[in-house]
Structure 1
Amino acid sequence: MALKIFVDTDVVISSLISPSGAAFLLLNQTDGLELFISNISAREIKDVAKRLRLDTEKAKQLIEKRCSVVQLPEAIGKIKTSFEDYVLDRNDAHIVAGAERARAQFLISYNTRHFKADTLKGDLHIILTTPANFLQYLRSR
């Protein structure tokens, strides 16, 4: 059974910037994983890629090829209220909402300090980790 992984926006952007980093390896060279982002994350990825002058077509292809997109309500206010106990910044609540909607076992982010890891694990059974730590976990299995 494939592991379900929700990927934060920063991981996707990092994979577009560096073809040798852990994010790139995770998104491009790791099999046996179900990778997820949300519709809100997809829009965020497009906006950040454009702002950083990255190849937006490459970002779109990566998402289409490797990620399933879970649909969250566009009413972000309700998401912020429902998931604020899991984040330090309410603007990151949609990441947790997406992970929960995907029934992800792992949330992969470089911004681990933005989330309340113990609460995520205790309430939603989602393990928060970085791309490098997750790859290390996969190698140890």
Structure 2
Amino acid sequence: MTLNEELVMIVLDFYPDWGHSPERFLEFIKVTAALSALHKHAEGLPGPDIDETELAQVFIATFKIDLGPYKHYAQLEREAALKIDLLAILNHMRDESRADDEFYDLVDEGQLQLSMETMLEEGFSEYKSRGIVNALRPYIDFV
């Protein structure tokens, strides 16, 4: 399986609580797979789209995700997937990304300055996401 590393880092930043509940985990997996497919098609990259179940199994095995009360990922997907409005989530992520870009443009122009707390939070978030990506390297080829 191949994933764009920057894309995974973005989704991890948007979902810092991706492993806190089975439903949040399902949403995280679906968003990661959808963004990966959109990115692949936008870049004209060959190959199949990410298999959501395979991606979920890698995360479950690597991070010991508890899906309780669901017995397995297929049951979680079957019983909880209809509650996810993927288009609304992707639109929200796009809007947040645009707002972040505008904010950091102002920082770059010197019109705003980041607080120490913000810099520490961002550094910790990136450090945590980098650790997750590194733990996945034996199972996922990152490009």
**Taking structure 2 as the reference length, what is the TM-score of the superposition?**
0.29
Give the helix-richer structure, 1 or 2: 2
Give the strand-richer structure, 1 or 2: 1
**Taking structure 1 as the reference length, what is the TM-score of the superposition?**
0.29
**Could you say which structure has the larger radius of gyration?**
2
